[in-house]
Amino acid sequence: MAKCALCGREPTVIDVGSVQLCRDCFIGYFERKVLKTVQRYRLFSEGDIVAVATSGGKDSLSLLYILNKYSKQLGIRVFGLLVDEGISGYREHTVKHALEVSKRFGLEIEIVRFSDEFGMTLDQMVEVSRKAALPYGPCTICGVLRRYLINRYARELGATKVATAHNVDDEVQVFLMNFVRAGVSSMGREGIAAVAQHRKFVQRVKPMYFCSEKESTVYAILNGLYPPFVECKYIVYSFRLPAREMINEYEACRPGSKYRLLALKTYLWLKLSRNIKHTQLKTCTICGEPASSDICKACQILSDLKKYRKVPDVG
């Protein structure tokens, strides 16, 4: 048996760099990393009400659990905000699991559904988009409408910050995707906190920015937060999948690659973000929500879908 690098006990549950840690030392290490990120980057202020964007998956439940556990110490109030897009064979399992976890640990979770808000599930939207040959893949529709609902409901429920469970893996995958797309301006925007100026925009922060997905998986297992293993059926359409596989291959050949990529990403973000004007966002003329042009992306997508199937207006 391997011995824990911090306390010398056995057995060990995870490799952190080139050493192994036992259960208790790993939990302490992981929670300290999240709290240190929150404090060092001043992600929250005293009195903040934090909506944790919760999917019912391991990462977001881990974040909700930790922030709730340390909410008094941080001086914040925390609740989970779960968007049920309506992905059959997937989301119903994670929603059920999230509700069980919330009951077990006394976590507050609010659920918002695509079907209630937009009159269609994501599955139905994907079908309409496909039949009408619209230029929207499942991940585009899902991403845009989820962000729209999270921002709107977080604000309406009184949240002053939205915390997302983006981890090292997510960050370097998006970095690589932006790299391949030559998305320089996106590289300058994808930081640890989203800065945007609009009275209806709730600032987004990433307390797990420096945690790997493997760490959050092990943390979730050790704390009884891990959901039944299910995968979104639309992952095969995502540009993220090849990026994920490529980065994991590099990590296997050259351990530490993910953190080196994160360091490069952060360096470029700091350089590029100076040249990006954080201009005042516009207000969508249809729904009144923050928008980068006269009509927000959510309304653009819903408007196109509506031409082929009746979808109610948002807002």
Binding site for another protein (CB under 8 A): 1-2, 11-15, 20-21, 23, 55, 57-58, 90, 94, 169, 213-214, 217-218, 221-222, 229-235, 238, 241, 244, 248-249, 251-252, 255, 258
Yes or no: say if 150 and 82 are a contact pair by the CB < 8 Å rule: no
Residue 248 beta carbon to another protein: minimum distance, rounded to whole angstroms: 5
**Taking Cα atoms as reference points, which of 85, 186, 91, 190 lies closest to residue 138?**
85
Residue 282 beta carbon to another protein: minimum distance, rounded to whole angstroms: 31
Residue 254 beta carbon to another protein: minimum distance, rounded to whole angstroms: 10
- The Cα 292–Cα 121 span in angstroms is 25
- The Cα 4–Cα 243 span in angstroms is 33
| Cβ nearer to another protein, comparing 135 with 228 | 228
Q: For residue 100, what are the contacts with CB-CB under 8 A and spacing of at least 6? A: none
Residue 6 beta carbon to another protein: minimum distance, rounded to whole angstroms: 13
CA distances from 265 to 43, 157, 186, 268 (A): 19, 33, 11, 5
Tokens of 309: 């199937």
Yes or no: say if 150 and 162 are a contact pair by the CB < 8 Å rule: yes
| Cβ nearer to another protein, comparing 37 with 238 | 238
| Cβ nearer to another protein, comparing 164 with 217 | 217
Rg (CA), the chain: 20
| Cβ nearer to another protein, comparing 44 with 210 | 210
Tokens of 250: 């590099």
Tokens of 229: 């293993």
Residue 278 beta carbon to another protein: minimum distance, rounded to whole angstroms: 30
Residue 198 beta carbon to another protein: minimum distance, rounded to whole angstroms: 28
| Cβ nearer to another protein, comparing 182 with 252 | 252
- The Cα 188–Cα 266 span in angstroms is 9
Tokens of 42: 């001043």
| Cβ nearer to another protein, comparing 59 with 190 | 59
